[in-house]
Amino acid sequence: HRVLDTYLDSGGNFIDTANVYTKGHSEKILGDHLCKHPAKRDRIVLATKWCGNMFTGDPNAGGASRKNILDSVHHSLRRLQTDYIDLLWMHFWDALTPIDETMRTLDDLVRAGKVRYIGFSDTPAWKCAQAQMLAQFHGWSPLVALQIEYSLVERTVEGDLIPMAQELGMGVTPWSPLKGGVLTGKFTRENPTGGDSTRGDWVTNALNDRVYNIIDALIKVSKEAGCTPAQAALAWLRAKPGVSSIIIGARTLKQLEDNLASVHVDLHENQIGRA
């Protein structure tokens, strides 16, 4: 609760979750703390996702079909204790459901007032473009946002997803901007565990010579800029074309405050290029 309130008091207003995060508990935490207070709810841009299966073994409890979208939104609204979702994401692409069924259902939810805007997460550029063109042709609600992994370490999205989003009017909201802690400066060639053995394969599998070179450059740039490596990494991402907002995942109040301070860091063009 302190993390959430500190974020809001610092001017933050965009909160992102998903129905499958801790099997609905993430949404309930937010609903219990934020959505019982109309003033807080009104100033929040609240985003959640559907598509992940909440009930293993039930083929209708996941995916992008009309049935699952409507059921998922119904239960997300109940857990969040709100009448509407500001931004509803398709968590990932469902290759088994026709995209026109998905887009028509999402448009119905927007017209019903249960959802304000829609976006896609972790979906190929060609499928996003197909969906956007269908929406434009039929006069359905368009996709306004794209959530993808993007950081100094993960830049493959610059090849097609970022240009596609810019061309088709989707604001980009990167997830894992610090690559699970890899870009905090804790992990170096000399200290590959970062003093934290709990981070697991997500971090250790990302560490190689290429990444260590990036970390070395990041630490040098952060020293020049007078900030922490994490702040420099977030400032680099904030300066990239097409990025509208960055999804941070602070586990502690100290991490949150460090991340938020990155908004005061503006890297020079030379530093952006070197990082």
- The catalytic site residues sit at 21
Longest Cα–Cα distance in the chain? 57
Give the span between the Cα atoms of 72 and 201, in whole angstroms. 30
Give the span between the Cα atoms of 181 and 92, in whole angstroms. 23
What separation in angstroms does the CA of 10 have from each of 13, 37, 76, 163, 262? 9, 18, 27, 31, 12
262: amino acid identity, one letter: S
Residues forming a β-bridge with 175: 149
Give the span between the Cα atoms of 218 and 256, in whole angstroms. 20
